[in-house]
Amino acid sequence: MKILVTGIAGFIGSHTAERLLSLGHEVVGVDNFCDYYSLKLKQLNAKAVESKGAKIIKMDLRVPEAYSALPKDFDYIFHFAAQPGISQTSTFEDYFTNNVLATKLLIDFALDCSNLKLFVNIGTSSIYGLEATYPEDIAPKPASHYGVTKLAAEQLVLQKSREKQMNSCSLRLYSVIGPRERPEKMYTKLIDLGLKGEAFPLFEGSDKHLRSFTYVGDIVDGIVSVIGNEGKVDGEIFNLGTEVEHTTQDGIDAVAEVIGEEIKIEIKPKRAGDQLRTKANIDKARRLLNYNPQTTLLDSVRAQVEWFKANF
């Protein structure tokens, strides 16, 4: 199969591209290589994926003219590209243009791909809001610009299934961790600062927040499981993550155990929009896709520490 992966130089997109290549698929990836976080890391990810056979095109999905660089014979599209997370440096326009406008333009492109079997939108548990413990049919209550715009993007994609214009589905991911995690995210920052003996900035009260910290390999298992299952997944939403909950403090302790260093903490004011609890309800994915994440928190952290030491 010929597969388009947007955001291929990112954390989860790069891992998914590698898995698709290992399964024998042809992968074309796009990324705008923006400077939201370290270009060095994105280039490192891109180099790893290219070395395994992917073709990568630098393009901005928000620019209509850029789509002329893409072939139109894709069998699947996996759409990871987005303005991620909750950041005080990101404006609403950043979230809107990257998450809503870019998705609309990509959908328009997809409708011209005559071979397309499935458009897979990569969503997020942030769509649910401050508590993300629900099945997929609960009414979303996003509490951040990120969550609001990712919900809008998801609905734009699923609209095309409802209109019978193309097969599509959306996968809501939960607290993904592991090698290549972005530098501003919790575990990469914990590992970096812990090894340096510097203090980790902890938002007040967040040590008690509960998360479904899910290893990236387990997430990719769920993502690729939609291939060949178009009849089951068309028009559907699936939660992907672990059912096991850990506090942020559990994560801090796991990093300290693996690196053999005490983690120093600097308390920061609370951050608006932060989720208080995420626990992936994966009954639907388990039933329809045989999804069964297994990697423990400690094993996930070990893999991430090994990657960090090897590359930084």
pLDDT digits (tens, 9 = 90+) for 73-118: 999 999 999 998 776 778 999 999 999 999 999 999 999 999 999 9
Residue ranges in the chain whose pLDDT is less than 70: 87
Predicted pLDDT of residue 270: 85
Q: Quick check: helix, strand or coil at residue 300?
A: helix
What is the spatial distance between Cα 289 and Cα 178, in angstroms, rounded to a whole number? 23
**Which domains are assigned to the chain?**
2-174+215-240 (3.40.50.720), 177-211+244-279+294-311 (3.90.25.10)
Predicted pLDDT of residue 58: 98
Predicted pLDDT of residue 36: 87
What is the spatial distance between Cα 59 and Cα 303, in angstroms, rounded to a whole number? 31
- Residues pairing with 78 in the sheet: 5, 120
What is the spatial distance between Cα 133 and Cα 178, in angstroms, rounded to a whole number? 22
Predicted pLDDT of residue 272: 76
Sign of the CA dihedral with 305 first, then 309, 311, and 312 last: positive
What is the spatial distance between Cα 251 and Cα 262, in angstroms, rounded to a whole number? 13
